[in-house]
Amino acid sequence: MSINLEQLRQTQQTLAKQVILTDAFCQSVKFIGGTDVGFEDDGHVTKAAIVVLTYPDFKVVEYHIARIKTQFPYIPGYLSFREYPALIEAWQQVTQKPDLLFVDGQGVAHPRRLGIASHLGLLLDMPTIGVAKKKLCGQYESLPKQAGSVTPLQDKQEQIGWVLCSKNNCNPLFISAGHRVSQDSALKWVNLCLRGYRLPEPTRWADAIASNKPLFKNFKHAQ
């Protein structure tokens, strides 16, 4: 398999123009989804997890895991091409489609404004929000490690997202609009989904499912 980054770059630039940064979903949110990707067999298998939670009580409605052969390497700035195939496969198994989807990674806080959250949002035609644990690009002023503190993430005179301290003494999260949501709403929804942990509930559950963490193991045991 050969990779033409120049071509993929063109693809991103074209798709980026289709991203909608306004709140085009006005219905009440009753279900929120979360996605995360993990790897198995030394990276040869991509494992995608999608979870659907009720809002605002965050009960697990359903979850799905898809495993496919990994067919693209990790290249900063091109993460979506590595992960979206598995995510789409998992998405097709979802019965109760959520009103809003939290994606692990950047939304428009990306060099070409098409992080995985935006890319997936376009492919699924869904409102998405990017929740990343690390910065990909942009600059921001240092902020206190106090839950609730937030500062804009900027790139060339443009706000591309937010840097949010979601829990005391924890590293901040990098929040950005994915698709069909405004930057303000992206931040608002993340705050509405925080429950005392660093990660908002949809992301926390998806992470636990994709990586088979205690939260998920205990949940299965109780089922």
Give the footprint of DNA on this chain (CB under 7 A): 36-39, 43, 74, 76-80, 104-106, 110, 115-117, 130, 132-137, 168-169, 210-211
Q: How far is the CB of 50 from DNA (least distance, A)?
A: 13
Q: How far is the CB of 64 from DNA (least distance, A)?
A: 17
Q: Which is nearer to DNA, 30 or 145 (CB)?
A: 145
Nearest one of 65, 64, 68 to 41, comparing CA atoms? 68
CA dist., res. 39 & res. 137, Å (int): 24
Q: Is 36 annotated to bind ligand?
A: yes
Q: How far is the CB of 35 from DNA (least distance, A)?
A: 10
Per residue, what are the HEC states of the chain?
A: CCCCHHHHHHHHHHHHCCCCCCCCCCCCCCEEEEEEEEEEHHHCEEEEEEEEEECCCCCEEEEEEEEEECCCCCCCCCHHHHHHHHHHHHHCCCCCCCCEEEEECCCCCCCCCCCHHHHHHHHHCCCEEEEECCCCCCECCCCCCCCCCEEEEEECCEEEEEEECCCCCCCCEEEEEEECCCHHHHHHHHHHCCCCCCCCHHHHHHHHHHCCCHHHHHHHHHC
Q: How far is the CB of 66 from DNA (least distance, A)?
A: 14
Q: Which is nearer to DNA, 64 or 135 (CB)?
A: 135
Q: Which is nearer to DNA, 134 or 220 (CB)?
A: 134
Q: Is 23 annotated to bind ligand?
A: no
Q: Which is nearer to DNA, 76 or 214 (CB)?
A: 76
Q: What is the DSSP letter of 139?
A: B
Q: How far is the CB of 27 from DNA (least distance, A)?
A: 27
Q: Which is nearer to DNA, 30 or 197 (CB)?
A: 197
Residues annotated in a binding site: 36, 104
Residues annotated in a binding site for Mg(2+): 36, 104
